[in-house]
Amino acid sequence: MNFVVPDFYPAAAEILVAVMALVIMLASTFARRVASDLAYGLTQLTLVFAALVSVLVSPNLLAAVAAVISELPLFGVRLAEVLMSLAEGYAANEVVATFSGMFIGDMLGGLLKVFSLLAVAIALLYGRGYLADRKIDRPEYYLLSLLMSLGMMVMISANHMLSLYMGLEMMSLSLYGMVAFDRESPRATEAAMKYFVLGALASGLLLYGMSMIYGATGSLELSGIAQSIYHQAANKTVLVFGLVFIVAGVAFKLGVVPFHMWVPDVYQGAPTAVTLMISSAPKLAAFAMAMRLLVYGLFELADQWQTMLMFLSVLSIVLGNLAAIAQSNIKRMLAYSGISHMGFVLLGLLAGVVDGDRNFALNAYSSAMFYAVSYVIMSLASFGMVILLSRAGFEAETIDDFKGLNKRNSWFAALMMIVMFSMAGIPFFIGFFAKLSVLQAVVAAGYVWLAVVAVLMSVIGAFYYLRVVKVMYFEEPVDSTPIRAQGEVRFLLSANGLAIAVLGLLPQGLMSLCAYALLASL
Amino acid sequence: MTDMQKLYLLVPLAPLAGALLAGLFGKAIGRAGSHIVTILGVAVALAASVVIFQDVQAGNTFNGTVYTWMKSGNLTFEVGFLIDPLTVMMMLVVTFVSLMVHIYTIGYMHDDPGYQRFFSYISLFTFSMLMLVMSNNFLQLFFGWEAVGLVSYLLIGFWYERPTAIYANLKAFLVNRVGDFGFLLGIGLIAAYTGSLNYAEVFAKGSELAAQDMAVTGWPLITAICICLFIGAMGKSAQVPLHVWLPDSMEGPTPISALIHAATMVTAGIFMVARMSPLFELSDVALSFVLVIGATTALFMGFLGIVQNDIKRVVAYSTLSQLGYMTVALGVSAYSAAVFHLMTHAFFKALLFLGAGSVIIGMHHDQDMRNMGGLWKYMPITWITSLLGSLALIGFPFFAGFYSKDSIIEAVHASHIPGAGYALFCVLAGVFVTAFYSFRMYFLVFHGKERFGNNHGHHDHEGDHDDEEVSADHHHGLAPGQKPHESPWVVTLPLVLLAVPSVVIGFFTIEPMLFGNWFKGVIHVGSNHVGLSELAAQFHGPVAMALHGLQTAPFWLAMGGVVLAWFFYMVRPDIPAAIQRTFRPVHALLENKYFFDRFNEIVFAGGSRLIGKGLWKAGDQGIIDGVAVNGTARLVGWVAQISRLFQTGHLYQYAFAMIIGVFILLTFWFNLV
């Protein structure tokens, strides 16, 4: 077996992150006194640069971003021209596989990487003050988040069961560590323990499923698997048996019913900064994992997995919304709300193939992706607000902590209201368009009853979002400590909240970006 | 984006910027700052409109999308502009009248505490109205439609401490909802059957629509669409029976009565029907419906003007009647005549309203004509301009109103559409009535005995009352011995500037607008309708038309009205009172506005309350409270219990749930095997 030097170019962003992780590890060992600040700064730089590199290595993505930017007013057109000129310099290959087919560089991956890297960067920025207040902003935290990002990137670009599994474990192990980062706190340790054991179980299920698929098709490469099934060379019984376990593994990562049990406990137990992290970027990675495994690898079995996803999504939407109503802890409430949102993402994924007709696929998957991205934006803002209300020695955890927020700081109350309205799917915020596009995909696929269930449940779900708004505006504050936060957190949180409103008015750009990405990658 | 396209964008955005600045930063930039930014915004819009006008004259029209808001299925929601002669004419009228009203407001609202708010609103209105007229699709039209409605609502209730103002703005809002409901249904039908909201695309499918029947009911589709759209126009343009809100809207400050409730917003319905002429032409039934409604409004609302004593209400009823004339013109396919009358009316009616406002300032916010008289001595500019406005309104030859109104009457005369006979009677009788109430007002206000200064039951003012002071407080009146005097220049300047077009605009524009090519390709008249073609054959220039006008029935009817008004109110003021006594039932009918309000109150308001009560008892308390709210609460409690049962915190149970999940998923596998 002769070794071929792989094409490193498509993986430039991953390599950058990996190298920087090592650099930060070394640097924080030697520069002990400023280790935390140094690690934080370098991590943020790395994340932003990696996001840039992810765009630059994908000419398609560059061109698509340019097309969206050219729609913007003022300097949009000129900026787009600059980007287009950059895009011309590169090969126009749509999909590049490298590392012996382990790794794939395509626009879907590029876009998801950009979003998740930025999400991690934002989450770190929001969480920094929180960690510092609790004296746990050690450099290892930033190192772990960088390694988690690396895991996500590998997962997003995986073209092979093994590379996907490796990325997944890298991400999960880092997250376990982060959940347990406040090692003095028994709650956090317990949460980490639960997360770890259940995660191990889910990984086991996934691995088992993968081995079944390998047994049936004789391939671990996703495209090879697809080929093999297409030529009907595989034993279908074994395939579907394996598929069940793969779906279970994916469902665990997304946190959908009945693989959701860890979600509320971990969200509540983990330090809020970590909850923020878990609830944002990893959801995009899990979406990518679902796309890679189910759509790229096992598309021929769509009829089977779509029915399974339907079962999971209905349960998630119903249980997530109803259970959220009963919560008084806001982190738990948002956990259940996240479960129902992931159910909506599944709605998009399950509407791709109708009676063997694949024309719906592009629309359905892009709506699911749009939903996932919108959810991450909203989730960042909502947990960002929870962090904002916390301070040294005080955890803002219950909905009551939001009482009278309008009196304490009307600007942040307004932002929280935007976030809650958007999550409830009230027009015209981004959450509305996310729900609308997913529901349209479901209706187009002919599952009207599913759309009806989803809408009914959203109406019930609106209750607990609106309760937060009511508490903020119509009740007296319990504690009137003024809200303090660093300038950059204020700024970014405002931008985040406003983005929800602005994207709600002008959703077309983000929507078409998702659609382009899938069009160029499917 | 070409330079012209940037200019198109500038037209609505400049007033919007002014509105935002004055509205959000009104306190910071102060009173003067607010009126400067808003006036600047509107002036920029006017200047841009003039440039665009010249460009359109050179033959450059535009129809395109500015921004695609979203795509939903096959339907695209867009923001787009359609710049053609009709649009640019409306743009000029709107921006010009708006500018005049902005300037006038400086004087009228001088001491009002809501000064900045008022400027912000009227600029916002200008923005909305421009969006409405410049739209190239139904969505944006509807946006503008609702936005002007909203601002109208806000401005009618501008003095929100007054219960009457709140009542009036609520009424306007509710009545407009009825119209908008029809309008929305019409747009919905169009979207459902053509799959498009773009004018050009919809018009192209017009004949296709005409061939179809509506599902289930079997009604001709095009008729249903047109009538639904027209119901929207009836609400906005105050046609019988949806007219009831307009007289009450006079509760708002006078500048907005001139801008919104006379010159621009209320004509949006007329504009919309003219814009939709390719659709309306396909349905004779809809046109007849339009014609009869318009004719009824034109005559019967005119009658009401005769018995009003509030100066603004007289003008309001005259507006209703004139809107009726425009609607009649639409009904006989003389769209260009309707739009022409819309334009001339915008000028002279704005003039009359602002003149009335000037009188009200002079009278220290007393609006009762019985307390006026002989004002010509004290307010010469207001007097002359109001006379010119009144002459234009009654259609005196060579004045703007003459050309437009005469064209409408001639067009009705030439039409053969069902209902044309009734319409002709109404518009002719309407001429007499218009002349009578207009000059009744004119004589009562400006001539005759000076009746002001009498103690008429209102609270008095101290003698040291500053004459410049204009306050929000209503119904002061003049103190005994106090004389009214002419308003400041910011009030009279717009009067003069509006008087000029009120006199001459008809003379100069009738030829291109009615008989030339100005509206070619914009307004569509079907071959089976006469429209203005017979008129065109008889037209030999504006001078000939005016001279011929001296020999026609409308002129003598108008003169009859003027003379009768002079005789009744100048020579023998005892006669009206005698008539009033003799025909008490008729007077009561007019006094109560044909009992429309009473009817609405009993049937609609009462009916709604009855239904509301029923729904509250059965629906709210029974179903919603009983089943939905308490039921949901029970369900939630139950689910929470169940989930708590599982969510124990014990790891092995969580793992167990996952295994159960896998087992359930495995049933799919069993099914397959």
Q: What is the pLDDT of residues A172-206, one digit of tens each?
A: 999 999 999 988 889 999 999 999 999 999 999 99
In terms of Cβ atoms closer than 10 Å to its own Cβ (0-12, 13-18, 19+), residue A33 is exposed
Q: Residue ranges of the alpha helices (H) in B308-334? A: 311-331
Instruction: Please check whether residue B660 lies inside any domain of the structure.
Output: yes
Which of B73, B654, B660 faces A262 most closely, judged by CB atoms?
Answer: B654
Is A126 in the B-facing interface, judged by CB distances under 8 Å? no
Whether pLDDT at B456 is above 60: no
Q: Chain A residue closest to B666 (CA)?
A: A244
Phi then psi for B568, rounded to 5 degrees? -70, -40
Number of domain units in chain B: 3
Residue A484 · residue A408 · CB < 8 Å: no
Query: Which residues in chain B have their CB less than 8 angstroms from residue A308's CB?
Result: 665, 668
Residue A220 · residue A160 · CB < 8 Å: yes
Q: Coil, strand or helix: which one is B83?
A: strand
Residue B530 · residue B416 · CB < 8 Å: yes
Query: Which residues in chain B have their CB less than 8 angstroms from residue A325's CB?
Result: 636, 640
Dihedral sign, CA of A140, A145, A150, A151? positive
Instruction: Please check whether residue A214 lies inside any domain of the structure.
Output: yes
CB atoms within 10 A of CB B267: 31
For B478, what's the count of Cα atoms within 13 Å in the CB-facing half-sphere? 23
Nearest to B330 by CA among B205, B230, B474, B450: B230
Whether pLDDT at B474 is above 50: no
For residue B466, the model assigns a pLDDT of 40
Query: Which residues in chain A have their CB less than 8 angstroms from residue B68's CB?
Result: 508
Whether pLDDT at A477 is above 90: no
Can the peptide bond before residue A258 be classed as cis, meaning omega within 30 degrees of 0?
A: yes
Instruction: Please check whether residue A221 lies inside any domain of the structure.
Output: yes
CA–CA min distance A40, chain B (Å): 34
Which of A193, A241, A258 faces B657 most closely, judged by CB atoms?
Answer: A258
Give B14-34 as a DSSP string.
HHHHHHHHHHHSHHHHHHHHH
Confidence grade of residue B309 (pLDDT, cut at 50, 70, 90): confident
Q: Coil, strand or helix: which one is A96?
A: strand
Token pair, residue B640, equals 């929470």
CB atoms within 10 A of CB B654: 23
Can the peptide bond before residue B241 be classed as cis, meaning omega within 30 degrees of 0?
A: yes
Instruction: Please check whether residue B233 lies inside any domain of the structure.
Output: yes
Q: Which residues of B touch A (CB under 8 A)?
A: 68-73, 632, 635-637, 639-640, 643-644, 646-647, 649, 651, 653-655, 657-658, 660-662, 664-666, 668-669, 672-673
Confidence grade of residue B473 (pLDDT, cut at 50, 70, 90): very low
For chain B, the average pLDDT equals 85
Q: Do B654 and A205 count as a contact with CB atoms less than 8 A apart?
A: no
Provide the ipTM: 0.85
Percent of chain A with pLDDT over 70: 95
Instruction: Please check whether residue B32 lies inside any domain of the structure.
Output: yes
- Stretch (H or E) spanning A505: helix A487-505
* One domain, residues B183 and B142: yes
| Beta-strand relationship, B62-72 and B75-83 | antiparallel
- Give CA–CA dist A484/A368, Å, rounded: 37
CA dihedral B22, B23, B24, B28 (to 10 degrees): 40
Dihedral sign, CA of A469, A473, A477, A478? negative
Nearest to B18 by CA among B94, B129, B127: B127
The residues pairing with B78 across neighbouring beta strands, listed in sequence order, are B68
Which residue among B282, B303, B319 closes a domain? Answer: B282
Which of B646, B647, B665 faces A247 most closely, judged by CB atoms?
Answer: B665
Instruction: Please check whether residue B587 lies inside any domain of the structure.
Output: no
CA–CA min distance B610, chain A (Å): 29
- Stretch (H or E) spanning B80: strand B75-83
Whether pLDDT at B472 is above 50: no
Residue A292 · residue A159 · CB < 8 Å: yes
Q: What is the mean pLDDT of residues B437-445?
A: 91
CA distances for B90 relative to B193, B271, B346, angstroms: 29, 8, 10
For chain A, the average pLDDT equals 89
- Give CA–CA dist B270/B323, Å, rounded: 8
Which of B72, B661, B668 faces A258 most closely, judged by CB atoms?
Answer: B661
* One domain, residues B269 and B414: no
**Distance spanning both ends of chain B, measured CA to CA:** 62
Can the peptide bond before residue B663 be classed as cis, meaning omega within 30 degrees of 0?
A: no
- Stretch (H or E) spanning B276: none
* One domain, residues B209 and B303: no
For residue B455, the model assigns a pLDDT of 53
* One domain, residues B517 and B414: yes
Q: Do A198 and B639 count as a contact with CB atoms less than 8 A apart?
A: no
Number of domain units in chain A: 1
Is A326 in the B-facing interface, judged by CB distances under 8 Å? yes
- Stretch (H or E) spanning B663: helix B651-672
Q: Coil, strand or helix: which one is B267?
A: helix
* One domain, residues B76 and B94: yes
Which of A205, A261, A508 faces B647 most closely, judged by CB atoms?
Answer: A261
Q: Coil, strand or helix: which one is B368?
A: strand
Query: Which residues in chain A have their CB less than 8 angstroms from residue B661's CB?
Result: 248, 251, 257-259
Query: Which residues in chain B have their CB less than 8 angstroms from residue A197's CB?
Result: 651, 655
Confidence grade of residue A367 (pLDDT, cut at 50, 70, 90): very high
Instruction: Please check whether residue A473 lies inside any domain of the structure.
Output: yes
- Give CA–CA dist B202/A133, Å, rounded: 63
Which of B643, B661, B668 faces A323 most closely, judged by CB atoms?
Answer: B643
For residue B386, the model assigns a pLDDT of 92
Instruction: Please check whether residue B474 lies inside any domain of the structure.
Output: no
* One domain, residues B27 and B47: yes
Task: Write down the residue that tokens 């409690």 correspond to.
Answer: B637
Whether pLDDT at A8 is above 90: no
Q: What is the mean pLDDT of residues B565-579?
A: 83
Residue B366 · residue B473 · CB < 8 Å: no
Phi then psi for A128, rounded to 5 degrees? -60, -50
Please enumerate in sequence order all residues whose Cβ is within 8 A of that of B665, keeping only pairs 6 or more positions apart, or say none.
A244, A247, A248, A308, A311
- Give CA–CA dist B395/A212, Å, rounded: 92
Q: Do A258 and B658 count as a contact with CB atoms less than 8 A apart?
A: yes
Residue A398 · residue A330 · CB < 8 Å: yes
Instruction: Please check whether residue A458 lies inside any domain of the structure.
Output: yes
Query: Which residues in chain A have their CB less than 8 angstroms from residue B660's CB?
Result: 258
Instruction: Please check whether residue B232 lies inside any domain of the structure.
Output: yes
Give B341-392 as a DSSP string.
HHHHHHHHHHHHHHHHHHHHHHTTS--BGGG---GGGT-HHHHHHHHHHHHH
Q: Coil, strand or helix: which one is A105?
A: strand
* Segments forming the whole domain that contains residue A484: 9-59+94-521
CB atoms within 10 A of CB B136: 24
Instruction: Please check whether residue A75 lies inside any domain of the structure.
Output: no
The length of chain A, given as a count of residues: 522
Is A235 in the B-facing interface, judged by CB distances under 8 Å? no
Instruction: Please check whether residue B410 lies inside any domain of the structure.
Output: yes
Token pair, residue A42, equals 């370098």
Q: Do B640 and A323 count as a contact with CB atoms less than 8 A apart?
A: yes
Which of B69, B636, B661 faces A325 most closely, judged by CB atoms?
Answer: B636
In terms of Cβ atoms closer than 10 Å to its own Cβ (0-12, 13-18, 19+), residue B457 is exposed
> For the segment A90-149, what is each residue's pLDDT rounded down to a tens digit?
545 568 888 888 999 888 999 999 999 999 999 999 999 899 888 888 899 999 999 999
Higher pLDDT, B581 or A307: A307
The residues pairing with A170 across neighbouring beta strands, listed in sequence order, are none
CA–CA min distance B630, chain A (Å): 13
* Segments forming the whole domain that contains residue B665: 598-672
Instruction: Please check whether residue A70 lies inside any domain of the structure.
Output: no
Instruction: Please check whether residue A464 lies inside any domain of the structure.
Output: yes
* One domain, residues B29 and B147: yes
Nearest to B135 by CA among B176, B86, B177: B86
Instruction: Please check whether residue B591 lies inside any domain of the structure.
Output: no
Is A265 in the B-facing interface, judged by CB distances under 8 Å? yes
DSSP secondary-structure letter at B521? T
Task: Write down the residue that tokens 């400067």 correspond to.
Answer: B36
Confidence grade of residue A210 (pLDDT, cut at 50, 70, 90): very high
For residue B99, the model assigns a pLDDT of 93
* One domain, residues B124 and B157: yes
Dihedral sign, CA of B109, B114, B115, B117? negative
* One domain, residues B344 and B207: no
When mean pLDDT is compared across A495-509, B155-169, B175-189, B569-583, the lowest value belongs to B569-583
Nearest to B668 by CA among A302, A445, A231: A302
* One domain, residues B98 and B218: yes
* One domain, residues B310 and B431: yes
Q: Do A248 and B658 count as a contact with CB atoms less than 8 A apart?
A: yes
- Give CA–CA dist A461/B632, Å, rounded: 11
Token pair, residue B652, equals 């092995």
DSSP secondary-structure letter at A181? T
Instruction: Please check whether residue A449 lies inside any domain of the structure.
Output: yes
Q: Chain B residue closest to A77 (CA)?
A: B1
Buried-exposed string B528-562: b where 16+ CB fall within 10 A, e elsewhere: ebbbbeebeeebeebeebbeebeeeebbebbbebb
Phi then psi for A393, rounded to 5 degrees? 75, 5
CB atoms within 10 A of CB B608: 12
For residue B635, the model assigns a pLDDT of 75
Q: Do B662 and A245 count as a contact with CB atoms less than 8 A apart?
A: yes
- Give CA–CA dist A349/A247, Å, rounded: 12
Buried-exposed string B208-218: b where 16+ CB fall within 10 A, e elsewhere: ebbeeebeeee
Whether pLDDT at A76 is above 60: yes
Residue B322 · residue B295 · CB < 8 Å: no
* One domain, residues B378 and B496: yes
DSSP secondary-structure letter at B460? P
